[in-house]
């Protein structure tokens, strides 16, 4: 059974001496790698979706999501030497359903948004031999074409979504809503290697 330890780095965290320096360096490495990989995945997916929209509109974009999104995610994972996943409580593809650790992260963002009115930039967990970095995602204008209120969505788009995803949960959003997260799993050995390189 995996042991879950939640680490939340905030500006209010107070540590002393070498422990503080070590924690700060570890945090910096996790965030640096997590942000880099998350942004690379987003750029890759958005580029592919824009291309599909230009070629065949929303219907083409839905096909790209269903056939290529996981494939592209896997490709970026292999290039960066980490594991990446997009997940949400309101997922479209069952393969993107959250595990218990991801549910914890999603709840963290939801609660923070409810209490403070804005999303934290990231969240970090330590699980056995890896760190998990989470970047929150928000609904933008373009997202509403396939994730908005079904009453206002194009009927052909809605029918295509229902055909590809009979158990779809990913509609009903409005602009600015919290959509879900990109999760980047980074082996502890990778962080240790980066820290050692910086020391040298």
128: left (phi over 0), alpha (psi -120 to 50) or beta: left
* Burial (CB count within 10 angstroms: exposed 0-12, middle 13-18, buried 19+), residue 150: middle
- What's the pLDDT band for 97 if we cut at 50, 70, 90? very high
How many angstroms separate the Cα of 164 from the Cα of each of 62, 94, 113?
Answer: 9, 11, 31
What's the average model confidence in pLDDT over 153-162? 92
CA angle at residue 170 from 168 to 175, to 5 degrees? 160
- Angle (deg, nearest 10), helices 17-80 and 155-164: 100
pLDDT at residue 107 tops 90 = yes
What's the average model confidence in pLDDT over 70-98? 95
Kind and range of the H or E element at 103?
Answer: helix 100-116
Q: In this predicted model, what pLDDT tens digit does every residue of 61-71 receive, in sequence order?
A: 888 888 889 99
- The larger pLDDT score, comparing residue 193 to residue 176, is at 176
130 Cβ partners below 8 Å, 6+ apart?
185, 186, 187, 188
pLDDT at residue 110 tops 90 = yes
Beta bridge partners, 132, equal 125, 185
**Other beta carbons within 10 Å of 155:** 8
Say what the pLDDT of residue 58 is.
87
Say what the pLDDT of residue 23 is.
73
CA 143 vs. chain centroid, Å, equals: 15
pTM: 0.85
- The larger pLDDT score, comparing residue 36 to residue 49, is at 36
- The larger pLDDT score, comparing residue 106 to residue 67, is at 106
Per mean pLDDT, which range of 18-32, 75-89, 139-153 is the poorest?
Answer: 18-32
Say what the pLDDT of residue 131 is.
95
DSSP one-letter string for 17-62 = HHHHHHHHHHHHHHHHHHHHHHHHHHHHHHHHHHHHHHHHHHHHHH
Q: In this predicted model, what pLDDT tens digit does every residue of 42-52 receive, in sequence order?
A: 999 989 888 88
Beta bridge partners, 123, equal 134
């Amino acid at each position: 059974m995996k042991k879950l330890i939640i680490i939340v780095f905030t500006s209010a965290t107070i540590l002393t001496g070498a422990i503080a320096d070590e924690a700060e360096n570890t945090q910096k490495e996790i965030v640096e790698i997590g942000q880099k990989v998350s942004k690379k995945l987003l750029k890759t997916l958005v580029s592919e979706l824009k291309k599909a929209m230009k070629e065949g509109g929303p219907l083409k974009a839905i096909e790209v999501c269903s056939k290529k999104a996981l494939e592209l995610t896997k490709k970026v994972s292999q290039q960066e030497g980490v594991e990446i996943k997009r997940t949400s409580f309101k997922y479209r593809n069952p393969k993107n359903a959250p595990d218990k650790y991801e549910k914890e992260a999603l709840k963290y963002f939801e609660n923070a948004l409810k209490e403070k009115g804005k999303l934290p930039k990231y969240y970090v967990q330590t699980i056995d031999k890896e760190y998990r970095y989470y970047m929150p995602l928000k609904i933008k204008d373009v997202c509403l074409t396939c994730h908005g209120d079904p009453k206002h969505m194009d009927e052909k788009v809605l029918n295509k979504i229902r055909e590809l995803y009979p158990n779809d949960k990913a509609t009903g959003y409005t602009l600015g809503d919290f959509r879900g997260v990109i999760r980047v799993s980074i082996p502890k050995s990778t962080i240790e290697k980066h820290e050692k390189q910086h020391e040298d």
